[in-house]
Each structure stands twice: as structure tokens, then as C-alpha cells.
């Protein structure tokens, strides 16, 4: 019974986290918000106005964990989407791309598109360098273009890709920072100047969010900080988005802001409850306390004690 209850609690918590994650992705996929990200993080859009980027250059509807790319499973004649959000191979495992979309580069005679992979990352140290993962994602997005964007030896058709990471809990040195990693030309002997479009094909960008106390807190750093904050109320978020960033609060965006805030509160409460239950159990096991003694020691409020007692009895 206890095992079943533990599994149920785990699944419930996972469900809440999944809902919150989905709500964040929906918010970030709003074209005006994506336009701000492009203007702030992608060199090709720095001189273009945000409303113009949103209305003219972002193509179609951004994909949010919708279309799979299965290179190992696709049979002859199978069409593989060039902008799939999940890239899977038998040898390399599954990669989930949170949001993918294409954007035409302003000011170019020919139509060149960028494939943008936008990730909302909560853990900056997941056991490996996040920058390497970003560059790996870029590599996979380039290699997945074979057979869709180009075939045979037409490498001139390869589209540039960006992997943009929004890191919500970065280490202190990365708070309120935007850092890019890309390919550059370096002459070791002689002076050669290759056209940049022949090698400037990928870039990983790390956005480290922070607070006003962490230094520079303006532009996209403030926008995303406000949008993803669990402390700022929905009404305040709407006011800041409209006043400081000219983002019209449509009914859809308004609903998404409220959904994310409500789910954020739920995830936070679930996490706090789990931590308190764990502390109670530790005191009961290590100090041989009763549940009531453990809750008294931890100063658990009276209105929560009956709820925790019921969970401990299961």
C-alpha cells in the first residue's frame, strides 16, 4: 500500500511539473515574445523592430513538442519533417526540442531561414556542461536537414541553426547574462577571408535569468524574468508586459499567464509538502519520534497536521 501511495504521489508531482512545463512552453511560443528573444539573441535580427519580426519574419506557427523526427525508423519514401521537435535515433537516444520554428533573415536577397531551438532549462548543472548540449542540439538540427533541406552534395543549402537556452536558475556568475557560442574563422598562416555564410552555421546561446539585485535587469532579461517569475502576480505581469515591452495582452496570452502562475504555485506547494513529509519521516525513523512529536519539533502548522497524518498512515 505504501509503495502504491508513493508511486501515486510521484506520478501526481510529475503530472504537475509536466503541466507547468507545457504552460511555460506555450508562453514562450507567443510570437511577440519569440520576437524579443530573436532581437536580443540572434545577430541577424538586432536591427529589426520587434513587431516587424513577429509579423513578417517568424514563419508559420511555432511547434511545441509536436512533430517527431525518426531517422532510424523512417522507411523508403517516408517524409521526415525538417522542423520536428523530437529527434530520435536508435544509437543516440531521444532529444526533445521544446519549441522549434523558422524565421526568414531580414535584408537578404535570397530567402534564408533560421531554425531556432528554444529550451527552458531549470538546472544549469545537470551532470554535464550545458553549453556542450546546446552545441550538440545544433549539430543534430544541421544533420537532420539532409534529405529534407538538401540532398546529395548540395551542402550550400544548409540552413543556419540556433539553440537558445533560457536558464531559470543559473549560478550567480551567470545571472542576468546572455552568452553566445559559435564558429569563427581563424588564420594560422596567411590571410584568408571566407564568406561568413559558408561557416557561420550554428550558435548556442545561454540566457541566464536573475533578479534586479543581480546586475543588468532590462530588455529580454527583464521580460523573461517577469514572465517566468513565481512571485509576481498575473495582473502585475500583464501590466509590465504591456507597459515596458508593448506586448498586447490577448485573451490567449492572458490565459496562458494565469495558467502558468497557477501551475507554478501548485508545483511549489507540492515540492514544499514533499520536503516537509520527508523531514517528518526522518525524525520518526532516526529519533524514534511519533508523527505528532516530529511535527511539533518542525513547527508544522495545526491545519496541516491532520493532512500529513493521513498521508503517513497510508
For 230-273, what is each residue's pLDDT tens digit?
777 888 888 888 899 988 877 777 776 766 665 554 444 444 55
Strands 161-167 and 113-121: parallel
User: Domain limits of the chain?
Assistant: 31-246
What is the distance of C-alpha 142 from the center of its chain? 20
CA-wise closest residue to 149 among 183, 111, 188, 108: 111
C-alpha cell, 215? 546586475
**Phi, psi of 224, rounded to the nearest 5 degrees:** -70, -35
Per the rule left: phi > 0, alpha: psi between -120 and 50, beta: everything else, 246 is left
Strands 161-167 and 202-208: parallel
CA-wise closest residue to 119 among 64, 166, 178, 181: 166
**3-class DSSP assignment, residue 130:** helix
Per-residue pLDDT of the chain (314 residues; tens, 9 = 90+): 343 444 344 334 444 555 666 777 777 888 898 999 999 999 999 999 999 999 999 988 887 765 443 344 333 332 223 344 554 443 344 445 578 888 999 988 666 677 776 666 777 888 888 899 899 989 988 998 999 888 999 999 999 999 999 888 888 899 999 999 999 999 999 999 999 999 999 999 999 988 888 878 899 999 998 888 877 788 888 888 889 998 887 777 777 676 666 555 444 444 455 666 777 877 788 778 888 888 788 777 777 777 778 777 76
Q: Write the pLDDT tens digit of every residue in 152-189.
A: 999 999 999 999 998 888 888 999 999 999 999 999 99
C-alpha cell, 187? 588564420
Amino acid at each position: 500500500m505504501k509503495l502504491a501511495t508513493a508511486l501515486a504521489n510521484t506520478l501526481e508531482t510529475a503530472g504537475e511539473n509536466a503541466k507547468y512545463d507545457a504552460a511555460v512552453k506555450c508562453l514562450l511560443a507567443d510570437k511577440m515574445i519569440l520576437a524579443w528573444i530573436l532581437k536580443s539573441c540572434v545577430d541577424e535580427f538586432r536591427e529589426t523592430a520587434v513587431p516587424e519580426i513577429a509579423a513578417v519574419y517568424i514563419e508559420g506557427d511555432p511547434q511545441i513538442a509536436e512533430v517527431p523526427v525518426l531517422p532510424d525508423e523512417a522507411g523508403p519514401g517516408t517524409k521526415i519533417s525538417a522542423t520536428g521537435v523530437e529527434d530520435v535515433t536508435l544509437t543516440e537516444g531521444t532529444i526533445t526540442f521544446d519549441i522549434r520554428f523558422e524565421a526568414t533573415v531580414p535584408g537578404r536577397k535570397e530567402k534564408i531561414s533560421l531554425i531556432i531551438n528554444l529550451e527552458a532549462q531549470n538546472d544549469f548543472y545537470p551532470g554535464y556542461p550545458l553549453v556542450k548540449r546546446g552545441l550538440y542540439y545544433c549539430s543534430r538540427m544541421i544533420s537532420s536537414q539532409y534529405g529534407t533541406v538538401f540532398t546529395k552534395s548540395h551542402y550550400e543549402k544548409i540552413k543556419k541553426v540556433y539553440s537558445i537556452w533560457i536558464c531559470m536558475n543559473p549560478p550567480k556568475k551567470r545571472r542576468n547574462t546572455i552568452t553566445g557560442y559559435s564558429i569563427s574563422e581563424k588564420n594560422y598562416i596567411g590571410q584568408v577571408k571566407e564568406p561568413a555564410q559558408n561557416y557561420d552555421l550554428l550558435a548556442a546561446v545561454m540566457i541566464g535569468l536573475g533578479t534586479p539585485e543581480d546586475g543588468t535587469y532590462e530588455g529580454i532579461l527583464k521580460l523573461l524574468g517577469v514572465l517566468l517569475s513565481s512571485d509576481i502576480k498575473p495582473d502585475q505581469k500583464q501590466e509590465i508586459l504591456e507597459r515596458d515591452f508593448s506586448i498586447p495582452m490577448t485573451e490567449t496570452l492572458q490565459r496562458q499567464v494565469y495558467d502558468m502562475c497557477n501551475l507554478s504555485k501548485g508545483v511549489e506547494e507540492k515540492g514544499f509538502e514533499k520536503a516537509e513529509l520527508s523531514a517528518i519521516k526522518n525524525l520518526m525513523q532516526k529519533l524514534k519520534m511519533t508523527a505528532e512529536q516530529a511535527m511539533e519539533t518542525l513547527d508544522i502548522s495545526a491545519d496541516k497536521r491532520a493532512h500529513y497524518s493521513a498521508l503517513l498512515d497510508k
